[in-house]
Structure 1
Amino acid sequence: MMVQSYVDQGALPRNVIALVDRPADDITDNDDDETNAKSWTMSEVEIFRAAIATERLAACWLMSCYGMRRSEVLGVRWHRLDATALRVRRGRVAIGRETEEGLPKSRRSRRDLPPPADLEAALRALKTRQKAECLALGASWSDDRLIAVHENGSPVRPDWYSAEFQRIRQRTGLRRIPLKGLRNTSVSLMLASGIPVHIVAAWHGHDPAMSLSIYSDAHPRDLEAAAAALFGPDGARGPWQIGKF
């Protein structure tokens, strides 16, 4: 260290850098601290999917489970959905206390997603329900309507959506992750399933390098499988450990 060199030479009376407190590490000593969790395992996300099956906005929660950003879920309108694709073209984000709608995060974010069967069914059910709600309120229906709205037709706010996610998660007893952890989970599980990274990236609307560097999360079973693939199931634990557990 240059400063310490000057101290050794007598040019400085002491190393002032040594007096500065070191910033706290991002990782705590408690390896089980659930606040460090970025994503869920397949079994955990399946528990969440079962929990939201009866929720009014089950379709929105499924869109989140399939890796769509919060802004995308809250910004999609019914006319962007047809029999073949859910077209992501707009997003709704919080700006202070206001919510603004605009273009998606990047050019890659503009994409057409073929909805899986469970999501397609949930969207169909939500549309039927919202039409009935409109009728009860005496309001006219329009396919330009946002998908993520409350019973009275008011748009769902980003902060409400994130808070509601935590309420549902807490009710199920699942580990705490942020809402964006569902997106992390989607990326990680797709990669773990062997889906090519460029396809994973195209589905989620970002660069392939982003899938690997930020969103991908290795779980214990992934690490076990990686070790087993290297030298076989016995070699994963080493010959000295076999039979000791």
Structure 2
Amino acid sequence: MTNPDTNTTSTSTGTGSRRVRANGDGTVYQRKDGRWEAAGYVLAPGDTRKRIHVYGTTRKEALAQLTEKVATSNRGIAAPSAQGSVAAFLTYWLENVAVHRLRENTHTRYTTVVRLYLIPGLGKKKLAKLTAKDVRTWLDQLRTTCQCCARGIDTARDQPQCCAAGACCCKRLSPLTLAYVHSVLKSALEHAVREEEIPRNVARNVRMGTPRPRRFEPLTGEEARAFLTAVDGHRLSALFELALRTGLRKGELLGLRWEDLDLTGATASIRRTLQRTNSAGLTALPTKTHSSERRIALPTECLRSLEQHRERQTEEREAAGTSWKVSGYVFTRPDGSPIDGSTLTRHFNALLRGAALRRIRFHDLRHSAATLLLEQGVELVVIRDLLGHAHIGVTASVYAHVRLRLQRDAIDLLGNALRAPNAAATRPDDGDEPPLCAAPVH
């Protein structure tokens, strides 16, 4: 019996010999619309085989896609089917697609969302029959469902104290979490569209509304000065000062190596972030985005504190002797090993308590740096480059409240300029008020 995937082509020799593609290689040809199509057989659910079609703008691209699917099939992994359930497709997507395209911690969060919300809510539906109404109805129900009741959180306690005891605690998902769950579903279905399992991404037709951004309380100028005074003398004072004066992320600070610093030129190159993962433990990873890999200018005050920190680290290395762990990181534990992010958070919280300062998150130091810069009239594009945002729109949206306050100040200044001269002259000048000074608003 002739294999339908066998493709024969004539050679250019005069012998009339023909080259035959091996069984299972599939068929690759150009369509009338100019696209290239590749077809072949792969493993399907139920230990059967099915013929699939993939497409590309070039022959090489189409063949590469087919080769990838055949290789996955040869590993015993069944290809998803639109006739299969949403749960089966989500499992396939997490294990064979998302795992290669996401950071490990992001993949872990996606897996949690799929396990806790997507599969229980939509898993039994057929992928091909999933509609926008199904998604919207499920999200509306999820919005009003107590998660303590739904997941049996209180039931698992030794002594039930709320839902299992007849007093529902109404533990509902926040708008931000709901938006995240929706985005994970959209990402999964977008891949199903690319693989032409379904014709469209129905989750994109469901409008969630724009959730309010997470509220943060940045330090005021007075609080920031008090914080710098409190960290003076702390073993990690250089790190805390660098965080407040430059707005670097926690992982970026912990991932700094001495080779990244140019204290003579007063610059620092941000090349990596230090994070804990389930598989590798504490490890150095690429920066959050391509824009996050950047070079920033170091304030003069940070140069002094970093020099002092290097001297302290040298003393610690000499005291540790052979037990010193060579890591190359700027900020380390007393034995030279890298610092875990959770350990830094504990040091930070203890410092705030000891100095009787307002409780904030470590990430709020980053917000404080950006807010204080904005209030000093620094342009958004400069702050974007310093923080490593991918787009200036991210910077503008996060700090919209600061820009609004600066607009009010600017409008007041304009009102003073438009006030009648005689009205301004009638105001008594007691010499106590400083002259008005307008900061540019961007």
> Aligning the two structures, in what range does the TM-score lie when normalised by the shorter sequence?
0.7 to 0.9
Q: Provide the secondary structure at the position in 2 that maps to 1:122.
A: helix
Kindly state the Cα deviation for residue 37 of structure 1 after the two structures are TM-superposed. Answer: 4.0
Cα RMSD (Å): 3.4
250, 257, 281: which is aligned to 1:70? 250
Corresponding letter in the other structure for 2:351 = I
Match of 1:54 in 2: 233
Number of equivalenced pairs: 211
113-122 vs 95-104, which deviates more?
95-104
Matches within 5 A, 1:55-204: 55-65=234-244, 66-82=246-262, 83-84=264-265, 85-96=267-278, 98-139=281-322, 145-204=328-387
163-172 vs 38-47, which deviates more?
163-172
CA contact (8 A) 2:292 2:387 kept: yes
207, 212, 219: which is aligned to 2:396? 212
Kindly state the Cα deviation for residue 67 of structure 1 after the two structures are TM-superposed. Answer: 0.1
CA contact (8 A) 2:374 2:403 kept: no
CA contact (8 A) 1:188 1:217 kept: no
CA distance in 2, matches of 1:155, 1:166: 19
71-80 vs 153-162, which deviates more?
153-162
**Length-normalised TM-score, structure 2:** 0.43
Kindly state the Cα deviation for residue 171 of structure 1 after the two structures are TM-superposed. Answer: 2.2
Corresponding letter in the other structure for 1:203 = L
CA offset digits 1:80-99 (Å, max 9, x no partner): 11122111111101225932
Q: Provide the secondary structure at the position in 1 that maps to 2:283.
A: strand
Kindly state the Cα deviation for residue 220 of structure 1 after the two structures are TM-superposed. Answer: 10
Give unmatched runs, 5+ long, in structure 1. 1-16, 27-34, 236-245
Corresponding letter in the other structure for 2:253 = V
Q: Provide the secondary structure at the position in 1 that maps to 2:402.
A: coil
CA distance in 1, matches of 2:306, 2:329: 12
- Identity, % of aligned pairs? 24
Q: Provide the secondary structure at the position in 2 that maps to 1:39.
A: coil
Higher Cα Rg: structure 1 or 2? 2
Q: Provide the secondary structure at the position in 1 that maps to 2:382.
A: helix
Evaluate the alpha carbon distance shift between residue 142 and residue 114 of structure 1 in structure 2; reply closer, same or farther with a 3 A threshold.
Answer: farther
**Length-normalised TM-score, structure 1:** 0.74
Kindly state the Cα deviation for residue 63 of structure 1 after the two structures are TM-superposed. Answer: 1.7
Give unmatched runs, 5+ long, in structure 2. 1-140, 146-169, 176-213, 420-442
Match of 1:241 in 2: none
CA distance in 2, matches of 1:142, 1:94: 18
95-104 vs 110-119, which deviates more?
95-104
Match of 1:229 in 2: 413
CA distance in 2, matches of 1:69, 1:190: 16
